[in-house]
Structure 1
Amino acid sequence: MRDESPARLLENAARGAEWAWRDLVARYSSLIHAVCRQHRIGGADVQDVSGAVWLQLVANLAQIREPDALPGWLRTTTRNECLRLLRHRNRQIPTESTTFADSATPAPDATLIGAERLFAARRACAQLSQQDRELLALLFDDPPKSYREISATLGIPIGSIGPSRARCLARVRSTPAIAALLAG
């Protein structure tokens, strides 16, 4: 782990530097776990909360105004994710698994909603440029491609992949079909 400031780590992470992400996770994972423990969250739920917090950071890199206040941002985001998890847990009604064992097929409305979401996503992606579609395909490939592989495939600098991804996803979110789903 390098001895970089949070601002420098965030700047490099936004450019796609893998070492910066590794350093951020190594430096702040214990903070996230401590907040989870304060909310009496343990086990796999800690991993769920942690993953959600890191995804929030990825999604909000450009909006972090005070990078040196990153620990506070992570603490607040973790607390919010913990509270969301606890609210969701309180809504669940424990039942015996045999009660619902025969319901292997999804409800018709769930199938319809899933099909509508898939159709909206395909329609939104069809409106993107060929370059955007190729970038998204490489970013969401299974297994995921490294930024180095994406750079070599598309012929773009590694440092422009993250910002390009952000702009591409913003274009997807702004399409009418996806905007309607996000609003609903």
Structure 2
Amino acid sequence: MEPAEVTVLVHRAAEGDQAAWDAIVDEYAGLLWSVVRGFRLNEAQAADAVQTTWLRLVEHVADLREPGHVAGWLKTTAQRVCLQVIRQGGREQLTDWDEDRGAGGGVRDDGLDEDGPEVSALRREQQELVRRALADLPDRQRQLMELLLATPAISYQEIGARLGMPVGSIGPTRARILARLRESLATAGLQDLALR
């Protein structure tokens, strides 16, 4: 597709034209999947990375400096999302206390938070606001988020089977729920809390 055609599509999508969005997704879905597959993420992580990239486009479509080059923007964004997934995955691994001692910002062996009581209290308050925002979701949405956040990770096929939901609708539904949570948390004063 020529850059001029893409520019028209992006402008129409920014104005809310569903047909333009569909054309953009049809044109670039394969590109996103090929980028994400290159990072060798598991199935759920890969699907989340693709959906997060689309969500970022929805959030920034009106701000694109070069709408005719949306393919490059999508590719770069997908790479950044994948790197973030990999970094977050690394943080979830258990480490030996001696290895972590010099890093700072953790919990000491006496149970006290090294960041200090103010940071610890703020973190607890933020966690409570996130829990409340999740609790305020309709039951089906809350169940979906609980399954998506389960450890160990549950495949999209299993989540679909448990909720009676098509696998292809899980990612878009997740994106809508996250947008709703972001809005709810922004209202509560947590604009800087990342739900990415």
User: For the structure 1 residues 181 and 47, does the alpha-carbon distance in structure 2 shift closer, same or farther, using more than 3 Å as the test?
Assistant: closer
Residue 10 of structure 2 corresponds to 10
Provide the rounded CA distance (Å) in 2 between the counterparts of 1:7 and 1:52: 22
Deviation at 1:115, TM superposition (A): 3.9
Aligned identity (percent) is: 29
The TM-score with structure 1 as length reference comes to 0.53
User: For the structure 1 residues 37 and 180, does the alpha-carbon distance in structure 2 shift closer, same or farther, using more than 3 Å as the test?
Assistant: closer
User: For the structure 1 residues 87 and 7, does the alpha-carbon distance in structure 2 shift closer, same or farther, using more than 3 Å as the test?
Assistant: same
User: For the structure 1 residues 36 and 180, does the alpha-carbon distance in structure 2 shift closer, same or farther, using more than 3 Å as the test?
Assistant: closer
Deviation at 1:83, TM superposition (A): 0.5
| Root-mean-square deviation (Å) | 3.8
Letter in 1 for 2:61: L
Residue 82 of structure 1 corresponds to 82
1:123-154, Cα deviation, whole Å (9 max, x unpaired):
xxxxxxxxxxxxxxxxx9999xxxxxxxxxxx
Provide the rounded CA distance (Å) in 1 between the counterparts of 2:17 and 2:139: 20
Deviation at 1:59, TM superposition (A): 0.9
Deviating above 2 A after TM superposition, structure 1's stretches of 4 or more consecutive aligned residues are 109-119, 140-143, 175-182
User: For the structure 1 residues 141 and 9, does the alpha-carbon distance in structure 2 shift closer, same or farther, using more than 3 Å as the test?
Assistant: farther
Deviation at 1:113, TM superposition (A): 2.8
Provide the rounded CA distance (Å) in 1 between the counterparts of 2:32 and 2:9: 17
The TM-score with structure 2 as length reference comes to 0.50
Provide the rounded CA distance (Å) in 2 between the counterparts of 1:180 and 1:91: 20
Q: Which structure ranks higher in relative contact order (CA pairs < 8 Å, sequence separation ≥ 6)? A: 1
2:11 and 2:62 in contact (8 A); partners too:
no
Deviation at 1:40, TM superposition (A): 1.5
Provide the rounded CA distance (Å) in 2 between the counterparts of 1:180 and 1:47: 25
Q: Tell me the matched-pair count.
A: 122
1:36 and 1:42 in contact (8 A); partners too:
no
Provide structure 2 residue ranges, at least 5 long, that are not aligned to the other structure: 95-121, 141-181
User: For the structure 1 residues 62 and 141, does the alpha-carbon distance in structure 2 shift closer, same or farther, using more than 3 Å as the test?
Assistant: farther
Deviation at 1:19, TM superposition (A): 0.9
1:29-49, Cα deviation, whole Å (9 max, x unpaired):
111111112212241222100
User: For the structure 1 residues 62 and 85, does the alpha-carbon distance in structure 2 shift closer, same or farther, using more than 3 Å as the test?
Assistant: same
